[in-house]
Amino acid sequence: MKKIILDCDPGMDDSVAIAMAVKSPALSLLAVTAVNGNYPVDVTSKNALKMLELLGRTDIPVARGMARPMVRQSPKDPFTHGVDGQAENFLPEPKTALSGLHAVDLIIETIRANPHEVSILCTAPMTNLAVAFIKAPEIIPLVERVVAISGMFGLNEYAFLNATGDSPQSEWNVFVDPEAADVVYRSGVPLTLIGLDVATHFCVNFSQAELTALEQSPRGEARFLRQAIRFVNSRGFEAYCTVIDCLALGYAIDPTLIETKPFHVGVETKDGLTLGMTVRDGRHHHIWSELPLVEVGVWADYDRFLKQLMSLILA
């Protein structure tokens, strides 16, 4: 089993990602760390607890993390995950307590206790990770890999069509805290970035039979996903919005689902039109080789991803 920490900001798709992490026999979820992002950290950490209670896994620690980006105010999300941050599923208030540790410290301690064994799946702004790497840089070489829903790399039309940050060419998780993304990208940690080119593809969709299966399932997490799809559809968005973060889980469970290629990439941290843009230097000549070299998702097997997702959620 692959040991993972899920660093997230639930968020409807983060919540479905928690369900995949808990239910996959290929993964061992050591901790959920919440951060400011889609909603303030009080909401995201509470939503993580709610989801784990729904799944009957209150043994997995949830820690509250950074309450704001490293150097900026938190922007307002142009997209909404509903008044509860969970697509208006209105899960019961959690009874479980948060971990006594700050998320940054839980990340540091978990990596120290499991050197070279833990992958961090980040489906949120990278504030918790950046602060952990600054506070305890010795953990960086001990991290197996960071797999993140992060950026957009101009690899196809979806990268720009479905830009989620509040600027023409940025992805939300980077846009919220570009300085944190810059720290993590440059940290030297083995890094796989699954950007919007892959994670907001319109091929991530559900057939009527799959929608019916979700609706009729006795599983709370299946009905959660069905309601999330209804919620985004009612606002004119496609179903893919409900499972963006799940691509990171899909990849962790089965790396053959997503093809990646190495690219030198950088993050724009200057204010203005391009704030939060992730730039991929794919030139043959004069390449800026000082930019960090990371793996970038270029294509996914969407049919297999949806099959994997459905079988986990319905199980």
Which spans of this chain sit near Ca ion (rule: CB under 5 A)?
9, 11, 14, 123-124, 245
129 — phi, psi (to 5°)?
-65, -45
- Shortest Cβ 289–Ca ion spacing (Å): 31
Residue with Cβ nearer Ca ion (171 or 182)? 171
Q: Of 167, 147, 169, 238, whose CA–CA distance to 201 is shortest?
A: 238
Residue with Cβ nearer ligand BDR (29 or 228)? 228
**How far is 89 from 230, CA to CA, in rounded Å?**
11
Q: Are the C-beta atoms of 140 and 133 separated by less than 8 Å? A: yes
Amino acid sitting at position 173: N
- Shortest Cβ 275–Ca ion spacing (Å): 19
Helix ranges restricted to H, 55-177? 103-113, 127-135, 157-161, 172-176
Alpha-carbon torsion (93, 99, 100, 101), positive or negative: negative
- Per partner kind, with CB cut-offs from 5 to 8 A, the member of ligand BDR, Ca ion, none near residue 103 is none
Q: How far is CA 228 from CA 56, 260, 269, in A?
A: 20, 29, 32
- Shortest Cβ 217–ligand BDR spacing (Å): 23
**How far is 12 from 231, CA to CA, in rounded Å?**
10
Read off the tokens for 102. Answer: 């700050």
- Per partner kind, with CB cut-offs from 5 to 8 A, the member of Ca ion, ligand BDR, none near residue 125 is none
Residue with Cβ nearer ligand BDR (182 or 245)? 245
- Shortest Cβ 175–ligand BDR spacing (Å): 8
Give contact residues for ligand BDR (rule: CB under 6 A).
11, 13-14, 38, 79, 123-124, 149, 164, 171-173, 244-245
Q: Are the C-beta atoms of 39 and 11 separated by less than 8 Å? A: yes
Residue with Cβ nearer ligand BDR (14 or 105)? 14
Q: Of 96, 86, 80, 69, whose CA–CA distance to 10 is shortest?
A: 86
Q: Where are the beta strands (DSSP E) in 123-237?
A: 145-149, 191-194
- Shortest Cβ 59–Ca ion spacing (Å): 23
- Per partner kind, with CB cut-offs from 5 to 8 A, the member of ligand BDR, Ca ion, none near residue 172 is ligand BDR
- Per partner kind, with CB cut-offs from 5 to 8 A, the member of Ca ion, ligand BDR, none near residue 171 is ligand BDR
- Per partner kind, with CB cut-offs from 5 to 8 A, the member of ligand BDR, Ca ion, none near residue 244 is ligand BDR
Read off the tokens for 279. Answer: 């730039």
- Per partner kind, with CB cut-offs from 5 to 8 A, the member of Ca ion, ligand BDR, none near residue 164 is ligand BDR
- Shortest Cβ 119–Ca ion spacing (Å): 17
